[in-house]
Chains A and B, each alone.
Chain A
Amino acid sequence: MAITLYDFELSGNCYKLRLLMSILGLPYDIVPVDFFPGREHKADWFLRLNAFGQLPVLKDDDLVLSDSGAILAYLAKKYDASGQWFPNDPAITAEILRWHAVADDITSTSSAARLALGYDYAFDIEKSQNGAHRIFRLIDEHLWFGEREGRDWLCSPSHPTTADIACFPYVMLSEEGGISRQDYPALRRWTDRVRRIPGFTVMSGIFPAGPAKVD
Chain B
Amino acid sequence: MPLSLSDPNWYPIASSEDLPFRHVYQGQLLGRELAVWRADDGNVNVWENRCLHRGVRLSIGINEGQELKCQYHGWRYANQSAGCTYIPAHPADAPARRIENRKYPVKEAYGLIWSSANDEKPFVPFPGAVGEDWFALRPMPVNAAPGDVVAGLARLAPDDQPADLLPGMTVRLGDVVYFVQPIDAGRAVIRGLLPRTPTDELATLRHYNEQLTRLRDRLERAAAKKPAPEPLQPIYEKVSADLATMPDIAVPRGNTLNVVVKRKWQSADGVIGFELADRDGSHLPTFQPGAHIDVHLPNGLVRQYSITNGPGDLLSYVIGVKQESASKGGSKVLVETVREGDVLAISEPRNNFPLRRDATRTVLIAGGIGITPLLSMARFLDKSSLPYELHYFTRNGESVAFKSELDVLHGAVHIHTGLARDAIQGTINQVLGPHQFANHVYICGPGAMLEMVQETASGLGWPDEAVHFEYFQNDKTIDASSAFDIELARSAMTLHVPAGHTILEVMREAGLSVPSSCEQGACGTCLTTVMEGEVDHQDVYLNKSEKASNTCMMTCVSRAKSARLVLDI
Contacts and interface: CB of A to CB of B under 8 A. Distances in A.
Interface of A: 141, 144-145, 147-149, 180-183, 185, 188-189, 192, 207-214
Contact of A141 (B17, B21, B60, B209): B209
A183 B141 contact: yes
Given A148-B202, A210-B63, A213-B65, A182 B28 contact: yes
B208 to A, nearest CB: 12
Interface in B12-68: 14, 17-18, 20-23, 25-28, 33, 40, 60, 62-65
Nearest to B138: A144
A210 B206 contact: no
Nearest to A209: B62
Contact of B206 (A145, A182, A214): A145
Interface residues on B, range: 20 to 34
8 contacts: A147-B17, A183-B189, A189-B20, A210-B22, A210-B64, A210-B69, A212-B22, A213-B40
Nearest to B15: A185
Given A185-B25, A185-B26, 17 more contacts: A144-B138, A145-B205, A145-B209, A148-B202, A148-B205, A182-B26, A182-B33, A185-B14, A185-B18, A188-B23, A188-B26, A207-B71, A208-B62, A210-B69, A211-B22, A212-B21, A213-B65
A183 B21 CA distance: 20
A172 to B, nearest CB: 10
B410 interface: yes
Q: Which of A147, A185, A192, A207 has the largest number of chain B CB atoms within 10 A?
A: A185
Contacts of A188: 23, 25-26
B184 to A, nearest CB: 11
B14 to A, nearest CB: 7
B385 interface: yes
B201 interface: yes
Contacts of B65: 213
Nearest to B187: A183
A205 to B, nearest CB: 10
B209 to A, nearest CB: 7
A54 B336 CA distance: 79
A143 B152 CA distance: 27
Q: Per DSSP, are chain A's interface residues mostly helix, strand or loop, or mixed?
A: loop
Contacts of B23: 188-189, 192
B27 A182 contact: yes
Contacts of B209: 141, 145
Q: Which of B14, B28, B141 has the largest number of chain A CB atoms within 10 A?
A: B141
Contacts of A144: 138
Nearest to B20: A189
Nearest to A184: B141
Q: Per DSSP, are chain B's interface residues mostly helix, strand or loop, or mixed?
A: mixed
B202 A149 contact: yes
A190 to B, nearest CB: 11
Nearest to B410: A214
A207 B60 contact: yes
> Which 4 residue pairs across A and B have the least CB separation, nearest first?
A210-B62, A183-B141, A213-B21, A182-B26
Interface string B169-213: 000000000000000000001000000000001100110010000
A213 B38 CA distance: 12
Contacts of A214: 410
B385 A211 contact: yes
Nearest to A196: B22
Contacts of B60: 207
A144 B205 CA distance: 11
Contacts of B26: 180-182, 185, 188
Nearest to B49: A182
A207 B209 CA distance: 32
Contacts of B18: 185, 189
Contacts of B202: 145, 148-149
Contacts of A212: 21-22
A185 B62 CA distance: 16
Nearest to B17: A147
A202 to B, nearest CB: 11
Nearest to B202: A148
A126 B210 CA distance: 27
A207 B62 CA distance: 10
A180 B231 CA distance: 16
B34 to A, nearest CB: 10
A185 B22 CA distance: 14
B49 to A, nearest CB: 9
A150 to B, nearest CB: 11
A183 B186 CA distance: 14
Nearest to B18: A185
Nearest to B71: A207
Q: Which of A147, A182, A189, A211 has the largest number of chain B CB atoms within 10 A?
A: A182
Nearest to B40: A213
Contacts of A185: 14, 18, 25-26, 139
A171 B60 CA distance: 14
B476 to A, nearest CB: 45
Contacts of B385: 211
Q: Which of A147, A183, A212 has the largest number of chain B CB atoms within 10 A?
A: A183
A182 B32 CA distance: 12
Contacts of B206: 145
A149 B203 CA distance: 11
Contacts of B189: 183
Interface in B206-224: 206, 209
A180 B184 CA distance: 14
Interface in B118-138: 138
A81 to B, nearest CB: 29
Contacts of A148: 201-202, 205
A51 to B, nearest CB: 39
Contacts of B17: 147
Contacts of A192: 22-23
A131 to B, nearest CB: 15
Interface in B62-89: 62-65, 69, 71
A92 to B, nearest CB: 22
